[in-house]
C-alpha cells in the first residue's frame, strides 16, 4: 500500500514537472508595439533547420547515416519568395536556391545542375504562375524556372548586365537591378531585349548609388533600394521618379545599411536595415515613419545582420498556431538573418481582437542602438 501511494506521488510529481517545463510552457506573446499599446505585429517563430520546422529524425538513424540530427538547414539566406506551402530562398553560402517545404518540414534545393546551375544567386521573384526568376551576379544573367522548378531559359546576353542583384516582373516586362551599372534595366519578357534603362549614377532624385533590391506594388510602381544614398526610391510604371523614403543617419526614419524591403497589401513600405538591425514601416503617402520594430540581440524576435524582407499572404495557415488567440493575422512578414542561431524570422501583421486596451500615445521612437555612429 505504501509503495503504491509513493508511486502515485512520484507520477503526479513527474506530470507536474513536465507540465511546467520544456515544451509544456507557452512562450509569452511578443507584440510590436508592446501591450498595453495597440499591437500591430506579433513575432511568431524562427527557424534554421528541419528540426525547427518540426521534422523529426531518430538519433540512431543520424548516427548510422552520418547525418545532422537536426536535418538540412538554411545557411545565409539573401532573398525570399514563396508559393503555396513553400518558401524559396537564395543562399549565399550554398550558392543554391533553397526550398523550405512548410507541409513536410523539409529543406531541399533546386536540382537542375546543367544549364540551370547557379553560380551566385542573389535576387528572387516568383510570379502568379509560380515561375521563378533568379538574378545570378556571377553568371550575369536572370535564370527562369517553371512551376516544377525545371530550368526554362536565361536572360542576359553578353554585356547586357554588369552585376544583376535583384529582379521583379510586372506584365510583359522584367526589371533587373544592376548594382554596378547603377540602374534598373527593363527587359521585354519574350525577347529578353533591353527596352529601357532607369537611373544612372548619382545622388539626385531618380539616380542611384549601388542599388540592390526592387519590389513592385499591385499598381506597377517600382520601389528600389538606393543603398549608398540611404533611401528607397519610388517610380511609376513608366520609370518616372515619384518620391523617396528615408535619409542617411541614426534618427528614426533614417538608414544605415538598408537591405530587403516589400510593400504590404495595404500599401505600407517595410524596410530592413543591416546596420541598425531593425525593421521600419513607412506611410505610403507621406513617406513618414509609422513604427520601427525588432532589434539586435539573441532574444526571440530579434535580428542578426538581416538581409531579406518578404511579405507573404499565401502561407498564414502554417503559422496560425503561433498567433496569440487575441490577435488576428492579416499577412506574414518574413525576414532573413545572415548570422545568428535562427536564419528566418516570421512575424504576423494583424488586428487586436481581445479586450479593449486603454488609449495611450506611444512614446517617440528612439534612435536604434547598434554601435553605429555613421552610415556604412
Q: What is the model's pLDDT at position 14?
A: 31
* pLDDT band per the 50, 70, 90 thresholds, residue 261: very high
* pLDDT band per the 50, 70, 90 thresholds, residue 7: very low
- Residue 87 has what DSSP assignment? E
Closest residue by Cα to residue 34 from 324, 271, 372:
324
Query: 3-state secondary structure string, 271-331?
Result: EEECCCCEEEEECCCCCCEEEEECCECCCCCCECCEEEEEEECCCHHHCHHHCCCCEEEEE
Closest residue by Cα to residue 333 from 276, 282, 262, 258:
262
Cell numbers at 342, concatenated: 535562427
Instruction: Summarize the confidence of residues 8-24 as an average pLDDT.
Output: 34
Superfamily per CATH, domain 30-352: TolB, C-terminal domain (2.120.10.30)
Q: pTM of this prediction? A: 0.87
> In the chain, what percentage of residues exceed pLDDT 70?
85
Q: What is the model's pLDDT at position 358?
A: 86
* 239: number of Cβ within 10 Å: 15
Least confident of 53-57, 71-75, 114-118: 53-57
For the cut 60, the answer to whether the pLDDT of residue 1 exceeds it is no
Q: What is the model's pLDDT at position 12?
A: 33
The rounded mean pLDDT for the chain is 88
In which element (H, E) is residue 6 found?
helix 2-20
For the cut 80, the answer to whether the pLDDT of residue 246 exceeds it is yes
pLDDT tens digits along 184-232: 999 999 999 999 999 999 999 999 999 999 999 999 999 999 999 999 9
Q: What is the model's pLDDT at position 363?
A: 58
Instruction: Summarize the confidence of residues 152-171 as an average pLDDT.
Output: 97
pLDDT tens digits along 305-351: 999 999 999 999 999 999 999 999 999 999 999 999 999 999 999 99
Q: What is the model's pLDDT at position 21?
A: 35
What are the extents of the domains in the chain?
Answer: 30-352
* pLDDT band per the 50, 70, 90 thresholds, residue 56: low
* pLDDT band per the 50, 70, 90 thresholds, residue 102: very high
For the cut 70, the answer to whether the pLDDT of residue 364 exceeds it is no
Amino acid at each position: 500500500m505504501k509503495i503504491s501511494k509513493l508511486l502515485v506521488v512520484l507520477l503526479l510529481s513527474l506530470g507536474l514537472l513536465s507540465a511546467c517545463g520544456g515544451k509544456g510552457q507557452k512562450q509569452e506573446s511578443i507584440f510590436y508595439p508592446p501591450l498595453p499599446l495597440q499591437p500591430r505585429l506579433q513575432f511568431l517563430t524562427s527557424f534554421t533547420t528541419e528540426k525547427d520546422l518540426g521534422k523529426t529524425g531518430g538519433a540512431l538513424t543520424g548516427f548510422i547515416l552520418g547525418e545532422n540530427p537536426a536535418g538540412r538547414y538554411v545557411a545565409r539566406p539573401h532573398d525570399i519568395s514563396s508559393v503555396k506551402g513553400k518558401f524559396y530562398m537564395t543562399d549565399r553560402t550554398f550558392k543554391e536556391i533553397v526550398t523550405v517545404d512548410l507541409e513536410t518540414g523539409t529543406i531541399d534545393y533546386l536540382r537542375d545542375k546543367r544549364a540551370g546551375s547557379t553560380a551566385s544567386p542573389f535576387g528572387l521573384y516568383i510570379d502568379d504562375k509560380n515561375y521563378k526568376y533568379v538574378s545570378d551576379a556571377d553568371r550575369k544573367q536572370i535564370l527562369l524556372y517553371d512551376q516544377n522548378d525545371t530550368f526554362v531559359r536565361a536572360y542576359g546576353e553578353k554585356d547586357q548586365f554588369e552585376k544583376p542583384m535583384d529582379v521583379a516582373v510586372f506584365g510583359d516586362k522584367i526589371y533587373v537591378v544592376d548594382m554596378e551599372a547603377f540602374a534598373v534595366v527593363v527587359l521585354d519578357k519574350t525577347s529578353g531585349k533591353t527596352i529601357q534603362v532607369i537611373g544612372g549614377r548619382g545622388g539626385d532624385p531618380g539616380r542611384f548609388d549601388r542599388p540592390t533590391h526592387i519590389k513592385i506594388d499591385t499598381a506597377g510602381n517600382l520601389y528600389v533600394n538606393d543603398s549608398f544614398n540611404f533611401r528607397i526610391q519610388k517610380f511609376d510604371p513608366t520609370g518616372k521618379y515619384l518620391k523617396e523614403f528615408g535619409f542617411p543617419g541614426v534618427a528614426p526614419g533614417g538608414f544605415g545599411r538598408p537591405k530587403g524591403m516589400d510593400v504590404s497589401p495595404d500599401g505600407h513600405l517595410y524596410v530592413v536595415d543591416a546596420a541598425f538591425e531593425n525593421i521600419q514601416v513607412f506611410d505610403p503617402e507621406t513617406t513618414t515613419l509609422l513604427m520601427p520594430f525588432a532589434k539586435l540581440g539573441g532574444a526571440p524576435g530579434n535580428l542578426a545582420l538581416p538581409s531579406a524582407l518578404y511579405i507573404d499572404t499565401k502561407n498564414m495557415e502554417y503559422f496560425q498556431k503561433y498567433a496569440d488567440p487575441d490577435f488576428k493575422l492579416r499577412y506574414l512578414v518574413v525576414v532573413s538573418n545572415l548570422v545568428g542561431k535562427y536564419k528566418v524570422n516570421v512575424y504576423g501583421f494583424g488586428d487586436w481582437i481581445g479586450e479593449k486596451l486603454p488609449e495611450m500615445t506611444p512614446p517617440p521612437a528612439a534612435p536604434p542602438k547598434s554601435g553605429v555612429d555613421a552610415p556604412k
